[in-house]
A and B are shown apart, each in its own frame.
Chain A
Amino acid sequence: MRLNEGVQSIPAVFKKSTGTLKKFQSFTGLVLILFLAVILSPRQHGTGRILFLTPENLSDIFRQVSENGIIAIGMTFIILTSGIDLSVGSLLALAATLCAKILTQMNPSIGQPLHIFLAIFLPLMLTTGFGALYGLLISKLNIQPFIITLAGMIGLRGFARFLTNNANIDIGFGDDISAVFANLISPKPVVITTFVVIAVIMSIILGRTVFGLRVKSIGDNSIGSRYAGIPVTKTLLFTYALSGLLTGVAGVLHAAQNHQGSPNDGVSYELDAIAAVVIGGTKMTGGKGSIVGTIIGVFIMGILTNTFRLKGVDINIEMMAKAVIIIVAVWLQQPRKARSKG
């Protein structure tokens, strides 16, 4: 019965190879999903090409996962500290509505470029500020992140609706400043480049800086980290502020791409982000994980969604399949011992 007894006798080489396989397990998952997508994909009308593999569709996927990807990167840092941020969906709605509001309802005589800059900069400041506030409350008041950000999720949704009086703020189709903004920010290359640049920078920050190391060590052992002289409060503050900033970026992209700031958007985005992070191999208990893993997680979800939708599969089936994928992905990443116990 005890499978782990057998593990002892496995030759060292095999052990090593399973170790490598385990390290890239989420990557293996991605390859499997890609394989599935190619098989299930309908053919392109007229040319007979595999629709999934057409450059247009692949770049569609890239663009569609960008918002979730950017949010999930911030979420990775937070989960690595063994925290969570439930408020990202509300925060995204807040950033998008504030951005649209500044563009359409404020008329500062500062010229178009500066006005657009403000419409991007101020929402980012606001979301970063809320993130920093979470970090401060969590570490100073010693309240669980779940509770602080749950309050944020409820309160900020209310704030976004209060700002807009429940209505959508529309970014027009004419040639006014808001349309200029949308045309500037919404093209596919802009969205994808933003995602890629953020992913690279954040991957370096997590993997190669003292800050990244501190984030992981807090998640690994918070009390030990304090004894070791790691500035826990400051690190948590920066971590949540960073996630706030990234969510703000996703919010501005969201407003531009959808030509509107809707206070009702972003509902359950936090769950998509968390799902991507855990599929990518980051442990919910913190300490272990990577940005590359999260990005793989984001693409696994994105490709799966795309595959189902190209086939026109019922949305309810899509949701059920996603649930299975999440559980299987996380189960695969369990250490062998824990898995066999289950």
Chain B
Amino acid sequence: MKKGLTVFLILCLCFMALPVFGEGQKEVSTEKSGYLVIFSQCNNAEPYRAAQNDSFKALWSQYDDVVFEIQDAQQDNSRQISQIETAIVKNPDLLIVAPNERGPLSAVMGKAKKAGIPVICLERDIVDAENYTTWIMSDNYSIGKLAGEYMVEMLKVKNGAPEGKIVDLRGLLGVEGEQKRFNGAWDVMNTYSGITQEAEAVCNWLQSDARVRMTEILRAHPDIDIVYGHNDPMAVGGYLAARDLGREKDILFVGVDGLQGEAGGIKKVVDGVLAATFTYPLCTDKAVEIGNKIMRDPDFTPEKVYEVQSEMITPSNAVEKFNG
């Protein structure tokens, strides 16, 4: 009895504490006084996605008549499917989905579209184009190609010819974006016989893993020209390892993502840690622009695909980009 009462009191306290931590997940009023926008995010717990959420919140907050809500699927297809089903019941004026995987999410997005809700598919495409209204994306393969072209140019400067040794620090294998960043770069670099891959390591997108893996690579491979981190934190991890061994000046570090903020890749170019980074656009600007048109202008028909271009950040434009 006493135990039951204690448990009851603890539960009461927990529920009372919820509003304190619940900032940003306010209850959405069901009255249609303005527009309701729901964003189904595949996984909040990644820096890129956190930046995407922040950007969306800031952009939508400029519109007084828009209530914006984020749902976090925590990298789980089933959870994202059920969240989208709940979203359909809420009947928003716009549904933005960053799908966790292309296959499993396709049908439920189609269900939302059939229910008359405009659906923006963000970044990853889904299987059937009929299942979304428009697809706003940035192509990892083109980003890889840009990075590859940059590395070829840098090798020409460094070694006088397009030749040199590259180390790839890779994210989780099997992830589509990872493959494309790799293939894009190597499809360019493989056209030069003098450019070879010296080593590669799977570092799971993490700076800490990259630092440890790179230390061993540096010990085993005395000649390395460029370290290509398939995201910025891994490139920075590679730099940290090289700095420990006093070899950071001999190697160029190239990253991908180019996020804003102190922890982002642009700041790392400003600091001279990375030679360059290639932005993987958050696509939020475009999504808000197109989303607003869809909601407010009944005559507007969006295109099927909008591609947001990556930008190369080097020391020549990093400071300007960081401050802007």
Residues in A lying within 8 Å of B, measured CB to CB: 42, 45-46, 51, 54, 56-57, 60, 64, 104, 161-162, 165-170, 172-174, 188, 254, 257-260, 262-265, 306, 309-310, 312, 315
Which of A46, A166, A188, A264 is most buried by chain B, counting CB atoms within 10 A of its CB? A166
B interface residue numbers (CB < 8 A to A): 21, 44-47, 49-51, 53-54, 199, 201-202, 206-208, 211-213, 215-217, 219-223, 233, 236-237, 240, 244-245, 261-263, 267-268, 271-273
Report yes or no: B216 in contact with A169, Cβ–Cβ below 8 A.
no
28 pairs of residues in contact across A and B, judged by CB atoms under 8 Å: A42-B220, A45-B221, A51-B220, A54-B219, A56-B219, A60-B219, A161-B44, A165-B50, A166-B47, A166-B50, A168-B47, A168-B207, A170-B263, A170-B267, A172-B267, A173-B268, A173-B272, A173-B273, A174-B271, A257-B208, A259-B207, A259-B236, A262-B206, A262-B233, A265-B206, A265-B208, A312-B199, A315-B202
Known contacts: A188-B244, A262-B207. The answer to whether A170 contacts B262 by CB under 8 A is yes
Q: In the complex the two chains form, is B240's CB within 8 Å of A60's CB?
A: no
Determine how close the nearest CB of chain A comes to the CB of B256; give it in whole angstroms: 16
Q: How far is the CA of A163 from the CA of B262 in the complex (A)?
A: 16
Is A312 within 8 A of B208, CB to CB? Answer: no
With a cutoff of 8 Å between Cβ atoms, the chain B residues found around residue A168 in the complex are 47, 207, 233, 263
Task: Say whether A167 contacts B47, CB under 8 Å.
Answer: yes
How far apart sit A34 and B69, CA to CA, in the bound complex (Å)? 56
Q: How far is the CA of A306 from the CA of B202 in the complex (A)?
A: 14
Please, which residues of chain B bring their CB within 8 A of the CB of A264?
45-46, 206
Contact across chains for B21 and A254 when beta carbons are under 8 A apart: no
Q: A167-B261, A258-B240 are in contact. List 18 more A-B contacts (CB 8 A).
A: A42-B220, A45-B223, A54-B219, A104-B262, A165-B50, A166-B46, A167-B50, A169-B263, A170-B263, A257-B240, A258-B237, A260-B207, A260-B233, A260-B263, A262-B208, A262-B233, A309-B201, A310-B216
In this complex, the member of A168, A169, A315 whose beta carbon has the largest number of chain B beta carbons within 10 angstroms is: A168
Enumerate chain A residues within 8 angstroms of B261, measured Cβ to Cβ: 167
A-B contact count (CB 8 A): 88
CB-based contact B263/A173 at 8 Å: no
In Å, the complex CA distance between A259 and B232 comes to 13
- CB of B207 within 8 A of CB of A263, answer no
Given A165-B50, A167-B261, A60:B45 Cβ within 8 A? no
- Identify the closest chain A residue to B51 (Cβ): A167
CB distance from B225 to the nearest CB of A (A): 15
Q: Considering the chains assembled together, what is the distance between the CA atoms of A170 and B270 in angstroms? A: 14
List of A residues within 8 angstroms of B268 by Cβ: 173
List residues of chain B with CB within 8 A of the CB of A174.
Answer: 271
Minimum CB distance partner of A264 in chain B: B45
Query: Does the CB pair A173–B271 fall under 8 Å?
Result: yes
* Top 8 closest pairs, chain A to chain B, by CB: A170-B263, A166-B50, A309-B216, A258-B208, A173-B271, A45-B222, A168-B263, A167-B50
B216 and A306: CB pair below 8 A? Answer: yes
Closest residue to A173 on the B side, CB-wise? B271
A254 contact set on B, CB distance < 8 A: 208
Is B215's CB under 8 angstroms from A166's CB?
no
Q: Which residues of A contact B206 (CB under 8 A)?
A: 262, 264-265
With contacts A169-B263, A260-B207 taken as known, whether A162 is within 8 angstroms of B51 at the C-beta atoms is: no
Known: A174-B271, A259-B240, A265-B206. Contact between A310 and B219, CB under 8 A? yes
User: How far in angstroms is the closest Cβ of chain B from A163?
Assistant: 12
**In the assembled complex, how far is the CB of residue A341 from the closest CB belonging to chain B, in whole angstroms?**
40
Residues of B with C-beta under 8 A to A104: 262
Contact B45 A166 (CB under 8 A): yes
Closest Cβ of chain B to A298, distance in Å, is 15
Known: A56-B219, A162-B21, A264-B45. A64 touches B212 (CB 8 A): yes
Q: Within the assembled complex, what's the spacing in Å between the Cα atoms of A1 and B53?
A: 66
Taking the closest CB of chain B, its distance from the CB of A80, in whole angstroms, is 29
> Cβ of B220: which chain A residues have Cβ within 8 Å of it?
42, 51, 310, 312
Chain A residue nearest to B268 in the complex (CB)? A173
A188 neighbours in B (Cβ, 8 Å) = 244
By a CB distance below 8 angstroms, the chain A residues around B51 are 167
